[in-house]
Amino acid sequence: MARSTQPKSETQKLSRGFGWLAALGVLLVLAGLVGLIYTGVATLTSMFLFGWLLLIGGAVGLLHAIQARGTNFFWLGVVVAALNIAAGAVILRRPEAAAEALTMFAALLFLTGGVFRLVGSVVVRGPQFGWTLVQGAFGLLLGILVLASWPSSSKYVIGSFFSLALLFDGLGLIATGFGGRRIVGIVSEQLTGQDGRRDEPDEAATKPVPSE
């Protein structure tokens, strides 16, 4: 019985873990939907999170650099940590200006990426010619639209991207959670069936031998 109860407890733990994963996915999906509705709030929230991440990362990097003093990478670690701390402080102090700068940077990335994809698809003409051409045109159009309405576009672009990332990550976690629970259930049923067949008495062994 100890052998049969141990796999069941393990499968229950796995099923519970996948359930928590699906619940986290639901929370991320709800947060993404709320962020898509209130894009301005999502933009400021993402800026504050980014600033705090830079501050914490810079502080941790500075501690590591101090612990590694005397090595060749000491000053490099100090400079990188100081830059992270300074960037985090600036973002937390001026989140609107940071959002404008990041929006401009994202628009330029869309423009350059779209141009390179368009030129590359026309020059190479590989098997993914049509798909690469569509991607390049979409990136170029998106960059032009963001730049055309900049800096007002900075109020919703970063928040929209952040909310979409939460939404798709949440959907992925939900799919993983439900799929994992389904697989665990199938495995648990197979293990239960094998234990039931193993516990059945052998008719040939239990059949009485006739006396001569």
Q: What are the sequence ranges of the domains in the chain?
A: 14-195
**Cα dist from 6 to 1, 13, 156, 187, 212, whole Å:** 9, 11, 52, 14, 46
pTM of the model: 0.65
**Structure confidence at residue 187 (pLDDT):** 67
Q: Give per-residue burial for 86-124: e unless 16+ CB within 10 Å, then b.
A: ebbeebbeebeebbbebbbebbeebbebbeebbeebeee
pLDDT in tens, the chain (212 residues): 445 555 556 667 777 777 888 888 899 889 889 888 888 888 888 888 888 988 898 888 888 888 877 777 777 888 888 888 888 888 888 888 888 888 888 888 888 888 888 787 777 776 776 777 787 788 888 888 888 888 777 788 888 888 888 888 888 888 888 887 787 777 666 666 655 555 555 555 555 555 54
Residue 156 DSSP one-character state = T
pLDDT recorded at residue 196: 54
- Whole-angstrom Cα distance, residue 31 to residue 210? 75
